[in-house]
Amino acid sequence: MATIRLGDIAPDFTTDTTQGKISFHEWLGDSWGVLFSHPSDFTPVCTTELGTVANYFPEFQKRNTKVIALSVDGVESHLKWIKDIEETQNVTLQYPIIADESKEVANLYDMIHPNADNTLTVRSVFIIGADKKVKLILTYPASTGRNFDELLRVIDSLQLTANYSVATPANWKDGDDVVISTAIKDEDIPAKFPKGFNRIKYYLRMTPQPNK
């Protein structure tokens, strides 16, 4: 089983979901994507996560990002679970859940870690760019719920740094100053970053976020 690394093309697949059969790359289209997995249906932490993503759905839409969940149970089970999620989290689920009973997708994305559990998927997150390349991989243990504010923050950073010669510093949030790429010479900064910059060290130069 090949390990997926950053920059790899996200493996394509065709699968059943709660919103019908999809081919993953075709379903993504020109959007960014978040694929996140769950150990199984009717699990407590996952119920809160799926509800949170439903609440955050408009924020993902603002970022041209589609979200899709995965669990190794079937569509019928998923649909029953959705009723519980909507009831307990006071949401309407707008995005599909992959029915991966064969574990084909879980194995394709290396979501089963035998030393954690032989059969259940770990809580994996893959952020995929519009170019279908994997931009971020996160893996959580079954006991720890994910922080979706952090995933939105990362998408903001990834989309910003894909379009400008900048990086985002520790704890950066949308609207904060950013780091100018070390490949840019001091004398070339004014043309690229007309808002000005602060030269802290020759390798650490800050500028206001260029797309704000």
Residues assigned a catalytic role: 46
Residues 101, 96: Cα–Cα separation, whole Å = 15
By C-alpha distance, which of 49, 56, 57 is closest to 81? Answer: 49
Residues 5, 51: Cα–Cα separation, whole Å = 29
DSSP helix/strand/coil, 105: helix
| Terminal C-alpha separation, the chain | 43
DSSP helix/strand/coil, 9: strand
